[in-house]
């Protein structure tokens, strides 16, 4: 069960304007610093929406003004209501900061898609893995969606993991893709990938193993887990015995390591169980979960960074 949304999760009606203006100041600095003064589609939309909202009576809340406007002008009103809703949702997330507790994400997710926690409909997530065909890597089927196909390289480039552990190899394409992406970033890394059936793909940067999530202790060799260099990226993509698999790997993860749990819409109970046993040890990195909009990833609320070891 998710606990009810609290005041810290949402920006109040009187804080909304100030938050929008603060964000615009930050955005303008970013556009100059990082984008050669060229605004993105999102930047332009945000400024346009706020400029329009500032035309309303400054003594009233934007929600009230827009509500009245929509009643008076049914043709134009809904578009402004949509803008205001999106703007508020974005600012609520922005104010929470980059690293957020899973429980807070769950609480503040009540305004989003009930299963996927996204700000858009499930129709996008239904087809973004490729429909009817999957994407391929080195000729083998890759079970990643279009968002994660962009999120993983950004995460790998920032984290520069020395080791990747993948649970659930599938065809082996994803492990090969991780290894190729890391080589492209100039990172000397090794990828270890396990599945019930050892993948047929061969790649010099990847070692494939046979293992069963119902025997988590033997998924990967203990010595490997004790000696492979950090930082790690651990990817859970086998969908079986998830809490026990994570609990086992937790013993070897170090602060700064990342854990990405794919298809988490069907693993929320397992995540609550695992995270509940390690309060404060993992935070959701919303830079990646929300890069393309809230939870535009199959790892909804489940791209975690480990923040502390068991000793503190
Ligand atoms: C979604 S696929 C992995 C896809 C791959 N990671 C990719 O992105 O292309 C899930 C994999 O989990 C494996 N699997 C299912 N049950 C398992 C278990 N008990 N232990 C280990 N692997 C399992 C399946 O054989 C399948 O290859």
**16-66: pLDDT as tens digits:** 999 999 999 999 999 999 999 999 999 999 999 999 999 999 999 999 999
Q: CA-CA distance, 275 to 283, in Å (whole number)? A: 10
CB atoms near residue 44 (< 10 Å): 12
DSSP-derived letter for residue 166 is E
- Counting Cβ atoms within 10 Å, is residue 172 exposed (0-12), middle (13-18) or buried (19+)? buried
pTM: 0.95
Q: Domain limits of the chain?
A: 7-96, 111-306
Residues whose beta carbon lies within 6 Å of some atom of ligand 1: 142-144, 168-170, 173-174, 195-197, 211-214, 237-238, 240
How far is the centre of ligand 1, averaged over its atoms, from the C-alpha of 58 (Å)?
55
How far is the centre of ligand 1, averaged over its atoms, from the C-alpha of 311 (Å)?
33
The residue whose CA has the least distance to atom 15 of ligand 1 is 238
Tokens at residue 154, please? Answer: 């950004």
* The predicted structure's pLDDT at residue 78: 86
Asked if 23 and 94 touch (Cβ cutoff 8 Å), the reply is yes
How far is the centre of ligand 1, averaged over its atoms, from the C-alpha of 260 (Å)?
14
pLDDT, tens digit, for every residue of 223-258?
999 999 999 999 999 999 999 999 999 999 999 999
**b vs e for 159-171, b when ≥16 Cβ sit within 10 Å of the residue's Cβ?**
bebbbbbbbbbbb
What DSSP string runs through 252-306? T--TT-EEEESSGGG-HHHHHHHHHTSTTSEEEEHHHHTBTBTT-SSSTT-EEEE
pLDDT, tens digit, for every residue of 165-201?
999 999 999 999 999 999 999 999 999 999 999 998 9
The fold of the 111-306 domain, in CATH, is Rossmann fold (3.40.50)
Q: Ligand 1, residues 169, 193, 219: which to mutate, most atoms within 8 A of Cβ?
A: 169
* Three-class DSSP category at 34: helix
How far is the centre of ligand 1, averaged over its atoms, from the C-alpha of 121 (Å)?
26
How far is the centre of ligand 1, averaged over its atoms, from the C-alpha of 172 (Å)?
10
């Amino acid at each position: 069960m998710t606990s009810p949304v609290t005041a810290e999760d949402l920006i109040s009606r009187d804080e909304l304007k100030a938050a929008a203006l603060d964000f615009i100041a930050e955005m303008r600095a970013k556009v100059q610093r990082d984008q050669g003064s060229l605004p993105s589609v999102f930047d332009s939309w945000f400024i346009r929406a706020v400029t329009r909202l500032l035309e309303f009576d400054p003594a009233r809340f934007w929600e009230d003004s827009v509500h009245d406007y929509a009643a008076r002008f049914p043709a134009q009103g809904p578009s402004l209501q949509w803008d205001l809703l999106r703007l508020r949702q974005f600012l609520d997330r922005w104010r929470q900061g980059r690293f957020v507790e899973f429980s807070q994400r769950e609480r503040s997710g009540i305004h989003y898609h009930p299963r996927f926690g996204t700000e858009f409909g499930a129709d996008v997530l239904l087809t973004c893995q490729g429909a009817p065909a999957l994407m391929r890597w080195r000729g083998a089927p890759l079970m990643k969606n279009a968002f994660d196909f962009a999120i993983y390289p950004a995460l790998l480039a920032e984290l520069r993991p020395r080791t990747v552990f993948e649970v659930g190899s599938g065809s082996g394409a994803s492990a090969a893709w991780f290894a190729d992406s890391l080589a492209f970033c100039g990172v000397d890394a090794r990828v270890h990938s396990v599945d019930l059936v050892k993948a047929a793909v061969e790649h010099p940067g990847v070692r494939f193993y046979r293992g069963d999530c119902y025997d988590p202790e033997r998924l990967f060799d203990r010595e490997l887990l004790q000696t492979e260099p950090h930082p790690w990226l651990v990817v859970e993509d086998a969908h079986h015995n998830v809490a026990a698999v994570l609990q086992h790997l937790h013993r070897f993860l170090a602060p700064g390591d990342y854990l990405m749990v794919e298809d988490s819409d069907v693993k929320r109970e397992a995540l609550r169980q695992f995270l509940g046993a390690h309060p404060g040890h993992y935070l959701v990195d919303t830079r990646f979960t929300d890069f393309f909009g809230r939870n535009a990833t199959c790892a909804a609320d489940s791209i975690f960074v480990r923040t502390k070891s068991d000793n503190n």
